[in-house]
Structure 1
Amino acid sequence: MQKLLLVDDDTEVLAVNKKYFEQDGFLIRTAASAEDAYRVLGEFKPDCILLDVMMPGTDGFQACDKIKKLSGGAPVIFLTGRVSEDDKVEGLMLGADDYIEKPYSLKELKARVTVQLRKKTAKAPEQSNILSIPPLKIDIVAHKAFYNDTEIPLSNREYELLYMLAGKKNNVVTFEEIGSAFFGVYSEADRRTVMVTASRMRKKLEDYTGLDNIVETVYSKGYILRSK
């Protein structure tokens, strides 16, 4: 049975979402504030977390990092009425795995939860834990990247992007492919988030390797990882 934690100060929203997912066989716990969520996570380990942003006290943006750590890294989906592009980018950069604008359909919400659960339970390839893409190495079990045995400290989303590019090395990975992998459903509004993630990842690769051409931008299409 899949487990969800719902965090929202709106009790009506909590009740509606709880009923909907329980009817689909999910085990649900709810919290009306970030502080309540911290307490729940002391004895309940969810497979996915739906987190409201605009809550009194500690808001969702402020709570995201601690909630992810207390949950053992469960995917977090923000549910919010803050709909500007900057808000969305900020939320994703803070560690959220998806961002849904209120009001939303329960059908879409379930689809996005399903995407995150599918990612969480996907098995790594059996052949080898290490993917070599000179000059880099990727540990596909630990989700880490290395240069000359030195770890490059990538965020979860930066690692996901690097892994996608490595899987199609020397071939273009489009904005649409990356956005679909990140969010389940891609829209042009997601392109900026993809570009910010790519920019931060490339900066770290350059800082650690001294090379500025490992990942190249293909104008208006996406990115390509160059490897021998």
Structure 2
Amino acid sequence: MRILVVEDEVQVSSFIKQGLEEQSFDVDVAYDGAMAERLALSRDYDVVVLDLVLPGKNGLELCAIFKKEKPSMPVLMLTTLGTTADKVSGFDAGADDYLLKPFEFAELVARIKALARRPSAPGTPVNNVFRFEDLRLDIDKKTARRHDAVIKLSAKEFALLRYFMENPGRVIPRQELAEKIWKVKFETNTNVVEVYMNMLRNKIDRDFEPKLLQTRIGLGYVLSKD
């Protein structure tokens, strides 16, 4: 897991970073609001550990920004500010959990693991990445990945695959794909959907198992492992 620790006290941030790396986490550290915002919005993190009192933008401001731009990215607030009002402010800003200093390191690790395991609704991107089985669709990079292979997609292929990733397990009629992806009224004599589905399958499924883009004869297409 990749963790972002936002903490301006060097001794504290070094302690957390070392401890998490001993747990095999990949850890970045930001020491002020500007650095934290830049890292969080440019990289994918499984959890952000966020202090409230920081140089520049404070933790509440940052949390609100993170949740607006990456609503599924978990944020754990780690702070000495422990009144009920402080906690309410943190949760109102979008924090997923709240841990007071001083803390037991084992509890911090447990909280981070719990947040990272929290399931997302089907068809919901996590850190701007859709996931289905071993298929990943990166919204920012406009690429797909299966196993360790990066798959480059054209604009229409990307849009088509994204629509399937947003609707996993649902059989989608050809008419709906034509109207949603090509923004045109469906015509029965066109084979544009079939052509692009074949192109997309050649990239996504040809060299991999299981096959994920499947045809339901007379009904449409579905993203499914079954």
- Structure 1 length normalisation: TM-score? 0.51
RMSD: 2.4
CA–CA distance in structure 1, aligned partners of residues 102 and 28 of structure 2: 22
Instruction: Say how many residue pairs are matched.
Output: 126
Task: Give 1:104 deviation, angstroms.
Answer: 0.6
Cα deviations across residues 44-96 of structure 1 (Å, max 9, x unaligned)? 21000000001122110111111234445310000111110111111112100
Secondary structure, in 3 states, of the residue corresponding to 2:118?
A: helix
Give the match for residue 3 of structure 1: 2
Q: List aligned pairs for 1:151-166, cutoff 5 A.
A: none
Which residue of the partner structure matches residue 105 of structure 2?
106
SS in 2 for 1:95: coil
| Contact 1:3 1:27 (8 Å CA) reproduced | yes
Which residue of the partner structure matches residue 73 of structure 1? 72
Alignment-derived partner of residue 46 in structure 1: 45
Distance 2:17 2:83 in 1: 27
- Secondary structure of the residue aligned to 1:77 is strand
- Aligned partners of 2:101, 2:113: CA distance in 1, in Å? 19
Kept after mapping to 1: 8 A contact 2:47/2:115:
yes
Over residues 117-165 of structure 1, what are the superposed CA-to-partner deviations in whole Å (9 max), with x where a residue is unaligned? Answer: 11146879xxxxxxxxxxxxxxxx89xxxxxxxxxxxxxxxxxxxxxxx
Is the contact between residue 52 and residue 59 of structure 2 (CA under 8 Å) also seen in structure 1? yes
Q: Which consecutive residues of structure 1, in runs of 5 or more, have no partner in the other structure?
A: 125-140, 143-228
Q: Corresponding residue for 2:197?
A: none
Supply the distance in 1 between the matched residues of 2:106 and 2:59 (Cα, whole angstroms): 23
Question: Which residue of structure 2 aligns with residue 97 of structure 1?
Answer: 96
Structure exhibiting the larger radius of gyration computed from Cα positions: 2
Instruction: Give the match for residue 177 of structure 1.
Output: none
Residue of structure 1 equivalent to 2:83: 84
- Displaced runs of 4 or more, over 6 A: 121-124
Give the stretch that moved more between structures: 33-42 or 16-25.
Answer: 33-42
Code of the aligned partner of 2:54: M
* SS in structure 2 at match of 1:41: helix
Which residue in the other structure is 2:13 paired with?
A: 14
Q: Is the 8 A contact 2:41 2:66 kept in 1?
A: no
| Separation in 2, partners of 1:93, 1:57 | 20
Identity, % of aligned positions: 32
User: Distance between the aligned counterparts of 2:24 and 2:115, measured in 1?
Assistant: 17
Kept in 2, the 8 Å contact 1:41–1:70? The answer is no
